[in-house]
């Protein structure tokens, strides 16, 4: 037998053959564009640690959504920055709150854009935690009521998907019940099921002004050392009624994305989070890496790991490359 028997380079010889044997395809259909919405008019303020990402008032937000829509991106996810914060995060479930108004305006202007809302009170509480606080402790069950009200007001406003990101136990069940008993049985729940206590959220907290004012989130977000636990979290959220589950962050957790996809056959979303975005932007600004190629390689790797959809601040930039 002449050596080598297999010449793998045969299938790498040109673009045509590469296209035929390619295993993973990233498309615009995979992308979800995260957007920050704040009060005011004509506001479009760049986030210092996230070049190319803005906090927008609703009028300017509609322009962002229009761009995404025109690029063919199927969905946006909204994060609200309210004018006032308090201990209960009451703006989070105000039917006239910033996100509720933004959802109505987006669905009016772009009825077939899928609108996802983040359901979590940390952007709305003065202490910056994702749950109610009593004597320095984060309360689980008392928080469920607030999350349910928040999800309900989002659904009333027209959100297609609500996405609880708080990591309180039992919140998917509580939200499902609140939606089903108010005529919103068709509202989808995308649960941040395996959400780790990560330092990669740093730039987001600047963007949303949501850093915890004391302690950290390790009593409710997952320990980065754990993998089996992500399977238990995901299974429980599915049992409680989640339609899509999320792994977050994405890059240091590609193994988790892979496991969840392989062991539990449900739609998997991955969140390519703020710190993952900022690192690439910082390195590219220094000409240390080719930002565009690194971006595409990262998104492809998340898809290859098993994610069917990717929440990413690169959404519009990547869509432009994919549409070229």
Residue 193: alpha-carbon gap to chain centroid? 12
Residues in the chain: 324
Active site includes 41? Answer: no
Give the integer Cα–Cα distance in Å for 252 and 97.
34
Choose among 144, 179, 64: nearest CA to 110: 64
**Which long-range contacts does 98-103 make (Cβ < 8 Å, 24+ apart)?**
98/37, 98/38, 98/39, 98/58, 99/37, 99/154, 99/157, 100/153, 100/154, 100/156, 100/157, 101/58, 101/157, 102/37, 102/58, 102/61, 102/78, 103/78, 103/154, 103/157, 103/158, 103/159
> Residue 151, Cα to own-chain centre: how many angstroms?
16
Min. distance of Cβ 141 from ligand PBG in angstroms? 19
Please select the residue that binds ligand PBG; options are 54, 196, 201, 220, rule is CB under 6 A: 201
As measured in angstroms, the least distance from the Cβ of 58 to ligand PBG is: 19
Catalytic pick among 248, 281, 303, 316: 248
Does 233 help bind ligand PBG (rule: CB under 6 A)? Answer: no
x/- mask, ligand PBG, residues 90-119, rule CB under 6 A, reads ----------------------------x-
Distance in Å, CB of 324 to ligand PBG, minimum: 26
Taking every pair of Cα atoms in the chain, the longest distance, rounded to a whole number of angstroms, is: 76
Site membership for ligand PBG, residue 54 (CB under 6 A):
no
When asked if residue 204 is in the footprint of ligand PBG (CB under 6 A), the reply is: yes
User: Could you say which residues in the range 149-188 bind ligand PBG, by CB under 6 A?
Assistant: 165
CB of 121 to ligand PBG, least distance (A): 8
CB of 221 to ligand PBG, least distance (A): 6
Query: Helix (H, G, I), strand (E, B), or coil: what is residue 245?
Result: strand
Beta bridge partner(s), residue 134:
137
Dihedral of alpha carbons 158, 178, 196, 27, sign:
negative
Q: By Cβ distance, which residue is nearest to ligand PBG?
A: 204
- Residue 314 interacting with ligand PBG (CB under 6 A): no
Establish if 310 lies at the interface with ligand PBG (CB under 6 A).
no
Q: CB-wise, 120 or 194, nearer to ligand PBG?
A: 120
Contact 162, 190 (CB under 8 A): yes
* Under rule CB under 6 A, residue 273 binds ligand PBG: yes
240 touches ligand PBG (CB under 6 A): no
The question of whether 107 is a catalytic residue gets the answer no
122 binds ligand PBG (CB under 6 A): yes
The residues binding ligand PBG (CB under 6 A) are 118, 120, 122-123, 165, 201, 204-205, 273-274
The catalytic residue positions are: 195, 248
């Amino acid at each position: 037998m002449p050596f080598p028997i297999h010449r793998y380079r045969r299938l790498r010889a040109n673009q045509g053959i590469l296209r035929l044997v390619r295993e993973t395809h990233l498309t615009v259909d995979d992308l979800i564009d995260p957007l920050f919405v704040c009060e005011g008019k004509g506001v479009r303020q760049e986030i210092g640690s996230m070049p190319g990402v803005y906090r927008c008032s609703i009028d300017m937000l509609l322009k962002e959504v229009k761009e995404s829509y025109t690029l063919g991106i199927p969905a946006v996810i909204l994060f609200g920055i309210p004018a006032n914060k308090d201990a209960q995060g009451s703006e989070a479930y105000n039917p006239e709150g910033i996100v509720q108004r933004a959802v109505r305006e987006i669905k009016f202007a772009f009825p077939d854009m899928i609108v996802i809302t983040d359901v979590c009170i940390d952007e709305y509480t003065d202490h910056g935690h994702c749950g109610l606080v009593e004597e320095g402790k984060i309360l689980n069950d008392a928080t469920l009521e607030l999350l349910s009200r928040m999800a309900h007001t989002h659904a009333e406003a027209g959100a297609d998907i609500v996405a609880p990101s708080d990591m309180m136990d039992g919140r998917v069940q509580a939200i499902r019940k609140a939606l089903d008993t108010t005529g919103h049985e068709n509202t989808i729940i995308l649960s941040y099921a395996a959400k780790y206590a990560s330092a990669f959220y740093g730039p987001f907290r600047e963007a949303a002004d949501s850093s915890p004012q004391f302690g950290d989130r390790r009593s409710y977000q997952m320990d980065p050392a754990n993998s089996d636990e992500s399977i238990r979290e995901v299974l429980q959220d599915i049992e409680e009624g989640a339609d899509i589950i999320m792994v977050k962050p994405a890059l240091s957790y590609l193994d988790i994305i892979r496991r969840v996809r392989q062991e539990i056959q449900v739609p998997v979303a991955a969140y390519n989070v703020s710190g993952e975005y900022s690192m690439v932007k910082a390195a590219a600004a220094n000409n240390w890496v080719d930002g565009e190629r690194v971006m595409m390689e990262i998104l492809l790797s998340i898809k290859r790991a098993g994610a069917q959809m990717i929440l990413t601040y690169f959404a519009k930039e990547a869509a432009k490359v994919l549409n070229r």
